[in-house]
A and B are shown apart, each in its own frame.
Chain A
Amino acid sequence: MSQTSSTKNNAVSARQIAFFAAFILPVYKLVEAPSLLAAYAKGDLLLPALIHFFSQLGVIIALLIAASKSRRPLMERLQEKLGKKLLIFYGFYAVYYLFAAVLPLLDLEKLVYAAFYDTAPTLFSFGAFFLLVAFVCTKHLRSVGRFADLSVFLFVLPFLALIIMSIVETDFSSLLPFFERDLTDSLTAVSKTTAHFSDAALLMPLLLHTQYEKGDSKKILGGYGVGAGLTLVFLAVFYGVFTTVAPREHYAFLKIAQYFPALSVIGRIDLLFSYCICAILFFCTCLPLQYATGCLSTLIGEDKRPWIAAAIAFVSFLFTLFCNRFYDSIYGLFGGVFLPVFIIGCNTLPSLPSLLFLKKKNKKEKT
Chain B
Amino acid sequence: MKNFVENIKENQNELKRLLPAEDILYYAFQTADKTNCLLCYADGMVNKELLGQLIAKPLSFLYLAEEKKSQNDPTMYKPSADLIEKTLRFPELKRVTDFQDAIKEILDGNTLLLIDGLEIGFIAGAKLLPVRAIMEPPTDVAVKGPREGFIEDIKTNMTLVRKRLKSPDLRMDTLRVGKRSDTAVVVCYLDKTVNDKVRQNIAKRIEQIQIDAVPDSSYIAAFLAPNEHSVFRRIGTTEKPDVFCAKLAEGRVGILVDGSPIALTAPYLLTEDLQSSEDYFISPFMATLMRLLRVFAIVAALLLPAFYITVQLFKMQLVPLGLMLTIASSIRELPLSPSMEMFVVLLLLEILKEASIRMPKYVGMSLSVVGALVLGETAVSAGFLSTPAIIIVAFSGICMYTVPAFVETGSILRWLFLLAAGSLGPFGIILFAVFILYYLLSEESYGAPLLAPFTPLIPHDLKDSFVKYGLRSLATRPVFLQSPNKTRLRAKK
A, B assembled together: yes
Q: Which residues of A contact B (CB under 8 A)?
A: 13, 15-16, 19, 112, 115-119, 121, 125-126, 128-129, 131-132, 135-136, 139, 142-143, 145-147, 149-150, 152-153, 264-268, 271-272, 275, 278-279, 282-283
List the A side residues contacting B424 at CB < 8 Å.
116, 125, 128
- Asked whether any CB of chain A lies closer than 8 Å to the CB of B223, the reply is no
By the criterion CB–CB under 8 Å, are B451 and A146 in contact? yes
List the A side residues contacting B428 at CB < 8 Å.
128
By the criterion CB–CB under 8 Å, are B315 and A117 in contact? yes
- One of A125, A136, A142 near B427 (C-beta < 8 A): A125
Q: Is the interface of B mostly helix, strand, loop or mixed?
A: helix
Stretch at the interface among B180-188, B366-374, B454-462: B454-462
List the B side residues contacting A13 at CB < 8 Å.
456
- Asked whether any CB of chain A lies closer than 8 Å to the CB of B442, the reply is yes
Q: Indicate whether A128 sits within 8 Å of B431 (C-beta atoms), given known contacts A149-B456, A153-B454, A267-B317.
A: yes
- Asked whether any CB of chain A lies closer than 8 Å to the CB of B430, the reply is yes
- Name the distance in Å between B251's Cβ and chain A's nearest Cβ: 22
By the criterion CB–CB under 8 Å, are A271 and B320 in contact? no
List the A side residues contacting B435 at CB < 8 Å.
131-132, 135
- Chain A residue nearest to B437 in the complex (CB): A150
- CA A85 – CA B119 in complex, angstroms? 76
- CA A346 – CA B39 in complex, angstroms? 85
- Asked whether any CB of chain A lies closer than 8 Å to the CB of B316, the reply is yes
By the criterion CB–CB under 8 Å, are B439 and A135 in contact? yes
Q: List 23 A-B contacts (CB under 8 A).
A: A16-B456, A115-B426, A116-B426, A116-B427, A116-B430, A117-B427, A125-B424, A132-B434, A135-B439, A139-B438, A139-B442, A142-B442, A149-B456, A149-B457, A150-B455, A264-B320, A267-B317, A271-B315, A271-B317, A275-B430, A278-B430, A282-B434, A283-B438
By the criterion CB–CB under 8 Å, are A118 and B434 in contact? no
- CA A275 – CA B431 in complex, angstroms? 10
In addition to A16-B457, A116-B427, A282-B431, 18 A-B residue pairs with Cβ atoms within 8 Å of each other are: A16-B456, A115-B427, A116-B426, A117-B425, A117-B427, A118-B316, A126-B427, A128-B427, A128-B431, A135-B439, A139-B438, A143-B438, A146-B442, A147-B437, A150-B451, A267-B317, A267-B323, A282-B434
Q: Indicate whether A267 sits within 8 Å of B455 (C-beta atoms), given known contacts A118-B314, A128-B431, A139-B442.
A: no
By the criterion CB–CB under 8 Å, are A147 and B431 in contact? no
- Chain A residue nearest to B425 in the complex (CB): A116
- CA A321 – CA B455 in complex, angstroms? 35
By the criterion CB–CB under 8 Å, are B320 and A265 in contact? yes
- Chain B residue nearest to A149 in the complex (CB): B455
Tell me the residues in window 413-472 of chain B with beta carbons closer than 8 Å to chain A beta carbons.
Answer: 424-428, 430-431, 433-435, 437-439, 441-442, 449, 451, 454-457
By the criterion CB–CB under 8 Å, are B320 and A135 in contact? no
- CA A272 – CA B299 in complex, angstroms? 13
By the criterion CB–CB under 8 Å, are B427 and A147 in contact? no
List the B side residues contacting A265 at CB < 8 Å.
320
- Chain B residue nearest to A265 in the complex (CB): B320
- One of A115, A121, A132, A267 near B320 (C-beta < 8 A): A267
- Chain B residue nearest to A266 in the complex (CB): B320
Tell me the residues in window 77-125 of chain B with beta carbons closer than 8 Å to chain A beta carbons.
Answer: none
By the criterion CB–CB under 8 Å, are B442 and A112 in contact? no
- Chain A residue nearest to B316 in the complex (CB): A118
By the criterion CB–CB under 8 Å, are A279 and B323 in contact? no
- Name the distance in Å between B243's Cβ and chain A's nearest Cβ: 27
- Asked whether any CB of chain A lies closer than 8 Å to the CB of B128, the reply is no
- CA A116 – CA B424 in complex, angstroms? 9
List the A side residues contacting B457 at CB < 8 Å.
15-16, 19, 149, 152
- Chain B residue nearest to A117 in the complex (CB): B314
- CA A282 – CA B433 in complex, angstroms? 11
- Chain A residue nearest to B433 in the complex (CB): A279
- Name the distance in Å between B433's Cβ and chain A's nearest Cβ: 6
List the B side residues contacting A264 at CB < 8 Å.
320-321
List the B side residues contacting A132 at CB < 8 Å.
431, 434-435, 438
- Chain B residue nearest to A129 in the complex (CB): B431
- Chain B residue nearest to A280 in the complex (CB): B434
- One of B314, B319, B321, B323 near A116 (C-beta < 8 A): B314
By the criterion CB–CB under 8 Å, are A268 and B317 in contact? yes
By the criterion CB–CB under 8 Å, are A275 and B426 in contact? yes
By the criterion CB–CB under 8 Å, are B441 and A150 in contact? yes
- Name the distance in Å between A27's Cβ and chain B's nearest Cβ: 13
Q: Indicate whether A147 sits within 8 Å of B430 (C-beta atoms), given known contacts A142-B442, A267-B318, A268-B318.
A: no
List the B side residues contacting A147 at CB < 8 Å.
437-438, 441, 455
- Name the distance in Å between A310's Cβ and chain B's nearest Cβ: 15
- Chain A residue nearest to B428 in the complex (CB): A128
- CA A239 – CA B264 in complex, angstroms? 56
Tell me the residues in window 279-334 of chain B with beta carbons closer than 8 Å to chain A beta carbons.
Answer: 313-321, 323
- Name the distance in Å between B25's Cβ and chain A's nearest Cβ: 58
- CA A128 – CA B428 in complex, angstroms? 8
By the criterion CB–CB under 8 Å, are A136 and B431 in contact? no
List the B side residues contacting A149 at CB < 8 Å.
454-457
List the B side residues contacting A119 at CB < 8 Å.
313-314
- CA A129 – CA B428 in complex, angstroms? 9
- CA A126 – CA B425 in complex, angstroms? 11
List the B side residues contacting A152 at CB < 8 Å.
457
List the A side residues contacting B314 at CB < 8 Å.
116-119, 121
- Chain A residue nearest to B457 in the complex (CB): A149
By the criterion CB–CB under 8 Å, are A118 and B317 in contact? yes
- CA A195 – CA B464 in complex, angstroms? 42
- CA A215 – CA B316 in complex, angstroms? 49
- CA A128 – CA B434 in complex, angstroms? 12
- One of B313, B318, B441, B451 near A271 (C-beta < 8 A): B318
By the criterion CB–CB under 8 Å, are A267 and B319 in contact? yes
- CA A271 – CA B314 in complex, angstroms? 13
List the B side residues contacting A115 at CB < 8 Å.
426-427
Tell me the residues in window 8-33 of chain B with beta carbons closer than 8 Å to chain A beta carbons.
Answer: none
- CA A153 – CA B453 in complex, angstroms? 12
List the A side residues contacting B442 at CB < 8 Å.
139, 142-143, 146
- CA A16 – CA B315 in complex, angstroms? 35
List the B side residues contacting A278 at CB < 8 Å.
430
List the B side residues contacting A112 at CB < 8 Å.
427
List the B side residues contacting A143 at CB < 8 Å.
438, 441-442
- CA A275 – CA B426 in complex, angstroms? 9
- CA A153 – CA B455 in complex, angstroms? 10
List the A side residues contacting B433 at CB < 8 Å.
279
- CA A13 – CA B425 in complex, angstroms? 36
- Chain A residue nearest to B324 in the complex (CB): A267
- Name the distance in Å between B113's Cβ and chain A's nearest Cβ: 56
- CA A366 – CA B438 in complex, angstroms? 49
List the B side residues contacting A271 at CB < 8 Å.
315, 317-318
